[in-house]
Amino acid sequence: MPKRWITHLVLLCVWLLGALLIGLGAGAPGWWISGALALWLTSTLLKLYDLDRVLDGHKARTITTTSGLWAELLARVARYKDKASVRKKKYHRLLREVRESTGALRDAGVILNAQNEIQWFNAAATRLLGLASPRDIGLRIDNLVRHPEFVEYLNDADDRVIYIPAPQVSAGRISVQVIPYSRKQRLAIFRDVTHEYRLERTRRDFVANASHELRSPLTVFGGYLDTMLEDPAVTAGWRGPIDEMQRQVDRMTRIICDLIELSRLESMDGRAAQEFIDVVAIAKGIGKDFARSSGPELRFDLAPDLALLGDETQLYSVFYNLIVNARRFTPETGHVQVTWRPSDDGAVFEVRDTGIGIPEEMIARVTERFFRVDPGRSRAAGGTGLGLAIVKHALQKHDAELTIESQLDVGSTFSCHFPHERVVSRGGTRQAAV
């Protein structure tokens, strides 16, 4: 027990003993003790009153006159109150600073609860999304920002970044990312990316238009070169240069076709279609195309009952580019294994070759436009340097991922991982965890 309590109890005992002794001397000790107790109680009540006043934020009347336990108690309470008030002021200042700094942010921040109801938002959210306080506090955000991709994204609960039209800017664009930060709350960050979006669209449109414009003159060149090759008046000395010109025209035509395909993929909003895709038939069809040409042996191991939901042109392009690359970079003595199989996450289309492989430090770069490990070899083999960029984009549209494993002089494996939502049985029903 603390010393102050022992002193206090000793004082009470002395007080009562004194009353008892006086009572014994003067007679009626019961009355004396009762009187002493009543006085003690009154003084205790007065000090309790002081304590109550201190807790209410007033100064204690008797705090300076009282000593001992009560003085100490009152002083301690007063000290705690002072500390609490300093802390409160500090939190208020902090809160004001947080409010001012979030208010100065150019990005909109919205705090959502587990039901996607708005709990708080900053000033930029008013500018960017048209939210108003307190009108929109407590409302579901998907009732205010109604873009289907945003609604789907909110329910998916992943933290990737999506791009949707800006509700407040005509032809504007905003990026959205929802980050969970506690068990029940999420922070949605909206950023105005209209400027970057317009620049990117200008670049894309330029590439698409330039490619379209170049295609027609190239077709004319190609036509004339064909005619010249068949013309008996053209001397033998010219055949070599005309052949070379024709090869270059073919190469430019291929590059232009790939550029057009890439900009078409880039300019498509949202995800790829959900048509039924018979992967087995497509893979076998590509195999047949190469059946009579020389090159490494093509082997197939295709799960007969597995199909996809997607865009046929895009997926054909993915499978074709991967198989062409594998053949292009594998010697005739090697082989290319094409596998289509179920996986834990959905299904995998895999092209494994026993070719030249890719240096480890370059694996991450091969999906960049015009990146080639060996530009001379790629060009000589008819490559455009755009195949894997097309593959990567087309797979993204299908929520799929490309992984690459490779070892120099051993071979490479390109795998397309499709999620469950895209995988169906060949009968057309969605696969349950295959």
- Residue 77 or 373 with smaller CB distance to ligand ADP: 373
- Residue 23 or 355 with smaller CB distance to ligand ADP: 355
For 410, the token pair is 């051993």
> How far apart are the C-alpha atoms of 1 and 417, rounded to whole Å?
70
Task: Tell the smallest beta-carbon distance from residue 329 to ligand ADP (Å).
Answer: 3
DSSP calls for 141-175: HHHHS--HHHHHHHHHT---EEEEE-SSSTT-EEE
> How far apart are the C-alpha atoms of 134 and 317, rounded to whole Å?
51
- Residue 112 or 356 with smaller CB distance to ligand ADP: 356
Cα–Cα distances in angstroms (integers) from residue 183 to residues 113, 142, 257, in the given order: 9, 20, 49
Torsion 123-128-131-137 (CA) sign: negative
- Residue 310 or 387 with smaller CB distance to ligand ADP: 387
Report whether the peptide linkage leading into residue 134 is cis, meaning its omega lies within 30 degrees of zero. Answer: yes
- Residue 86 or 380 with smaller CB distance to ligand ADP: 380
> How far apart are the C-alpha atoms of 319 and 17, rounded to whole Å?
103
Task: Tell the smallest beta-carbon distance from residue 226 to ligand ADP (Å).
Answer: 25
Residue ranges binding ligand ADP (CB under 6 A) = 321, 325-326, 329, 353, 355-358, 366, 371-374, 378, 383-389, 412
Burial class (CB in 10 A: 0-12, 13-18, 19+), 241: exposed
Task: Tell the smallest beta-carbon distance from residue 158 to ligand ADP (Å).
Answer: 28
Residues 6 or more apart whose CB falls under 8 angstroms from that of 68 comprise 4, 7, 8, 11
Task: Tell the smallest beta-carbon distance from residue 244 to ligand ADP (Å).
Answer: 20
DSSP 8-state secondary structure symbol assigned to residue 192? E
Residues 6 or more apart whose CB falls under 8 angstroms from that of 161 comprise 175, 176, 177
- Residue 310 or 357 with smaller CB distance to ligand ADP: 357
- Residue 177 or 367 with smaller CB distance to ligand ADP: 367
Task: Tell the smallest beta-carbon distance from residue 96 to ligand ADP (Å).
Answer: 54
Task: Tell the smallest beta-carbon distance from residue 269 to ligand ADP (Å).
Answer: 24
> How far apart are the C-alpha atoms of 128 and 241, rounded to whole Å?
60
- Residue 290 or 371 with smaller CB distance to ligand ADP: 371
- Residue 346 or 411 with smaller CB distance to ligand ADP: 411
Task: Tell the smallest beta-carbon distance from residue 328 to ligand ADP (Å).
Answer: 6
Task: Tell the smallest beta-carbon distance from residue 378 to ligand ADP (Å).
Answer: 3
Task: Tell the smallest beta-carbon distance from residue 125 to ligand ADP (Å).
Answer: 41
Half-sphere exposure of 386 (CA within 13 A, CB side): 17
| CA proximity to 433, closest of 279, 153, 421 | 421
